Chain A
Amino acid sequence: MLTPADLVHIHLLLNHFPTVGMIIGVGLFLLGLLNKSEDLKRGAMAVFFAIALISLPTYMSGYSAQKSLRSVPTVSQDVIGFHQRSALFALIFMEAAGVVSWYGLWSSRRRVPVGPRITAAAVLLSVVTIGLMAGAANVGSEIHHPEISSNPEAAISAEGILAPRWLSSEFITRYQYGHPWAWKTLETIHFMGLCLVFGVVLVANLRLLGWMRAAPLEGFHRLLPWGVWGFVANSVTGMLFFIGQAFQYIENPAFHLKMLCILLAGADVLYLTWHEEVWEMEAGATTSALVRVLAASQIVLWIGVIYFGRMLPYIGNAF
């Protein structure tokens, strides 16, 4: 299993992907807009979706890095708190960009070019994300690269904009302890989201596996956004659990496996959304072997997500 030191290395490795990836993604998107190339725009949206997935472990592993620096006297805990809040701010915009991009990719099966509102939202969210990420990364480098610190005072003065107080772990933890119903409500929503995600995953992938062959794939394609809304509900509630009680999760092997299942399932989703021809098939059609393997793996992975989620208190230390 992953040791605390592994998790710190993961943070230091992963944290380069979102910033660099988003700059490449926005570049592709703008190029696509200039050349009126739907393929480039779709490619950029796929990049945004992928980076939105990678950003989750990037943010979460930051808590391990924070923990490893807790007893290092030369490191300012204030700077770490600032970095963490600004990273969460960037993460919120990143995830919104990821969801909008998924929706754009999904809708492009029936609607080419992608609608102006989705296009505008994807560009706007990704540009804001890059700005916030650059801010977060800049503060992050203050933590351990003091040699390149040009102007720490300027960085700190941006704190009010880049890192609102209510995004701090302490604020969210205190809210959870002060309002016992908050945790119960979040858990209940998390279970509702689970049912929605699992229902859509099961039904759509069973069709890809050859069940309900009398139905064209088109109808199942229309179900997919409902699964994504369920996933959005569970990402928001899940992140609130994580941010409020990170110590329960960061060194919990069940949590690492749950995240791994989610990322792999996310890669499946990206493949199946990108390959729109899968969903063009008429009633009676059989999908390719690769698609069937992906569909089966998708069902297994989501059962894995439920298993490791349920095991958080039993394999690991969550309550």
Chain B
Amino acid sequence: MADFLMPILGADMTEGTVVAWRKQPGERVERGEIIVEVETDKATVEVESFVAGTVETILVDEGRKVPVGTPLAVIGVEGEQPVAARPVPAVPRSSVAMPAPAPAAAKAPGARVRASPAAKQLSQELGVELSTVVGTGPEGRITREDVEQAAKVTARPVEEAPDRQTRMRRAIAAAMSRSAREIPHFHLAREIDMGVATQWLAEENEKKPVAGRLLYVVLLIKATALALREVPELNGRWNEGRVVENPAVNIGVAISLRGGGLVAPALLDADHRTLEDLMAGFRDLAQRARASSLRGAEITEPTITVTNLGEAGADSVFGLIYPPQVALVGFGRIVEKARAREGEITARPAITASLSADHRVVDGHRGSLFLAAIDRLLQEPSRL
């Protein structure tokens, strides 16, 4: 038997609303199959099951908002005996933010609690009972961030339900405030000649059907993904006072939403995909992001973020890192610049690539090598 919990779909998420169940009790669900739609402050997300089995019980009805970590359903795993029905946890049946109940996934009183020393100390300072906190660290270990989130949820006053735009701004504010507060950022920039890349792209697109054309941002994404192989620490996450390198390169692409706000869902395994596949994936992501139908893994698994603000007219971007990621790569607009080449000055299309990096993880030397790698890769676009 496995509890299917309200997932954390982003560093800023404290609660979510069950929008629609895709599986009903008695139905089989495969690992990776969509089981429920959850609304966060930023999007409606299709959430996958992480186990295969049969849905035994649905614990939270559609339309109910619950804290992250709350069991939403019970899934009977193959080879296990079905369990007796258990009561549905008491959850406020309201879309209005209420003082949150203790997460039902929390430990029973007296049960062993796995928590980091920092989390234990903070829980004492903030008066948070660790047995009520859902751990998101390795093997369910409670982290300092988990305690902070629990304190925020517990302390939240009753208020009117804000509109979607307000909730999104709040979510972005929470994540970016945490980023600015906790991450010692440094920024680097490098001007990259885009003459070869844009010429190659124009020639390639001439040969392709309309629906198969590539946008130049896909070259930037692929170059970033490949450059991460050379400086893999930038593809890590900061966890419990140390960096953990991610085995996969999942590029979170910043997509602005109509009416304001943004999301940065992941193009999974970007370093292994062809430009055509990345383009199809990016187009699909953009359409689904704007239609509010992203999937859980796309929200939770970016290992680095790429943002391209060139089309909006920015010359360069110095962004804030989305925790627990440790880097963000920004691109400005492509403009013609006078460049000296072999003793002659010529006008060349150029773009400014920038890196926002976590100084706890990497230093300027490695960051500079990373930008240089992106530059080098973009000079051979046919090999991307």
| A interacts with B | no
